[in-house]
Amino acid sequence: MRKILFLIATLLFSCTYSIAQEAQDIQDTVSSKKRVRPLRRFERFVKEFIDFNNYDTTYISPNRYNFAVMLTNNTLLEHYRIGTSEPKEQRMSFAPNPSYKIGAYFGWRWIFVGWSVDAAEVFGGHNKHNSKKTEFTLSLYSSKLGVDFYYWKIGNDFKLKNLEGFMVPNSSSSPTDNTPNLKTSIDFDGMKAYIKGFNMYYIFNNKHFSYPAAFSQSTNQRKSVGTFLSGISYSSHQMSFDYMKLPSWILDQIEAPLRVDKLEYRDFSIHFGYAYNWVFARNCLACVSVAPAVAYKRSRIFSQYEENNDRHHNINFDLITRAGVVYNNSKYFIGASWVGHTYDYKQEYFSMNNTLGTLQLYIGFNFGKKKEYRSKK
């Protein structure tokens, strides 16, 4: 009897243990699946995010060629405006001579390499000050992501374009306080500027909207459509200002806050905007994009007005603009584009607004059809 009871007890224990073990295995399997599902979802998200060819072909048609040749004319435009409101309001506007560059580029799919030279060196009229100007801009466009890299070094060829709050001498050398604009610009070689940074953004309606169609000719927009976009930017700014090189009649009137020797600041911004592609005729596209930005600026000013040169932290607003118009029949293309950056710096007693942009005119053609399109006409 004891053996039978022992055998029954052993059997019950084994069944109970087996059931408990199976329950634990089921729970482990469910937990494993719960762990795997988020991982797979993340993998799918990453795969879809980096799939730049995932777009609606009724709105966007791909480029059918592997190679391209393009001639360009790039014009770099800059404008600086500094001012103060203490003890009275004064403004000065400066702009360097525009920089014109011509170049030739060879492209493979979305990668272009080439060379550009200053037009003044080719056609004459080269100014020795222009040799101290350096510009580098690179914009990469895809259906979902875009990025701009830029570096500007400008100096020694600025012109004083406009004045506010100053008494401007007339032809008889007697001052008048009713002349806010200069009749002619004044050469000024006491200003230098260095700017470098990048801008990265994401296109929300990327299955229907194409930035490359307007700016890199790697796709064709077939239907008009718009999209919201958002991104981040970083830039580093340095401006040196030798105000002692200003005309004597300005030095006699300039307020202390404008007697700035040097300004340095770093700009961290988040932007959100809207872009629209308008297909106004067959193979013809116009694009406009505006993206305001909220920017955190960490700065340091060296001036007579601020002797301790303390660091400042403040919030200002910036702006990124793009515009383009292009004719592209897949084989030949011609167009123009603009990419501009506007930075607004404001302190209690000093402000600076500067705009830098590149205007590009281009013409080119594609050749060497991709394998999948060779049988198609």
User: Which pairs from 357-361 meet CB under 8 Å and 24+ separation?
Assistant: 357/76, 357/77, 357/78, 357/321, 358/74, 358/75, 358/76, 358/77, 358/135, 358/137, 359/74, 359/75, 359/77, 360/72, 360/73, 360/74, 360/75, 360/336, 361/72, 361/73, 361/335, 361/336
Angle, vertex CA 99, rays to CA 96 and CA 101, nearest 5: 175
**Terminal C-alpha separation, the chain:** 94
Measured CA to CA, the distance from residue 215 to residue 51 in angstroms comes to 20
Per-residue confidence of the chain (377 residues) as pLDDT tens digits?
444 444 444 444 444 444 445 455 555 554 555 555 666 776 665 555 555 567 888 999 988 888 999 999 989 888 999 999 878 889 999 998 888 889 888 887 667 777 778 777 667 655 554 456 777 878 888 888 888 898 888 877 889 998 888 887 765 444 444 455 567 788 898 898 899 999 999 999 999 999 989 988 888 999 999 999 999 999 999 999 999 999 999 999 998 888 888 889 999 999 999 999 999 999 999 999 999 999 999 988 887 766 656 678 889 999 999 999 999 998 999 999 999 999 999 887 889 999 988 999 999 999 988 888 776 55
Q: How far is CA 327 from CA 63, 117, 213, 215, 225, in A?
A: 14, 26, 10, 11, 17
Are the CB atoms for 344 and 292 separated by under 8 Å? no
Task: List CB contacts of 112: < 8 A, sequence separation 6 or more.
Answer: 68, 70, 105, 106
**pLDDT at residue number 6:** 42
Report pTM: 0.79
Measured CA to CA, the distance from residue 62 to residue 71 in angstroms comes to 22
Helices (H) and strands (E) in the chain, counts: 4, 19
**pLDDT at residue number 1:** 44
- What 8-state DSSP symbol labels residue 97? P
Q: How far is CA 30 from CA 25, 27, 42, 43, in A?
A: 9, 5, 19, 20
**pLDDT at residue number 348:** 79
**pLDDT at residue number 52:** 59
Q: Which SS3 state, helix, strand or coil, does residue 4 take?
A: helix
**pLDDT at residue number 288:** 97
Measured CA to CA, the distance from residue 52 to residue 142 in angstroms comes to 6
Q: Enumerate the domain spans of the chain.
A: 1-50, 64-373
CATH code linked to domain 64-373 = 2.40.128
- What 8-state DSSP symbol labels residue 63? -
Q: Return the amino acid letter for 99.
A: S
**pLDDT at residue number 8:** 41
**pLDDT at residue number 112:** 72
CA atoms within 13 A on the CB side of 229: 31
Are the CB atoms for 294 and 272 separated by under 8 Å? no
Evaluate the CA torsion angle 215, 268, 84, 194 in order and state its sign.
negative
Q: Tokens representing 273?
A: 């905007």
Are the CB atoms for 311 and 298 separated by under 8 Å? yes
- What 8-state DSSP symbol labels residue 204? T
- Nearest Cα neighbor of 198 from 165, 231, 229 is 231
